[in-house]
Amino acid sequence: MEKIKAKAKVAWARHKPERYLLFPGMGIQFMDLEEKIQEALVNLVEALNRSRTPS
Q: Where are the domains of the chain?
A: 7-52
**What's residue 18's pLDDT?**
65
The residue type of 54 is P
Note if the pTM is more than 0.85.
Answer: no
Q: Which of 30, 47, 26 is nearest to 38 (CA)?
A: 30
Q: Which of 40, 35, 31, 30 is nearest to 2 (CA)?
A: 40
The residue type of 12 is W
Question: How do residues 1-47 score in pLDDT, each as one tens digit?
Answer: 578 888 999 999 887 776 667 777 889 999 999 999 899 889 988 99
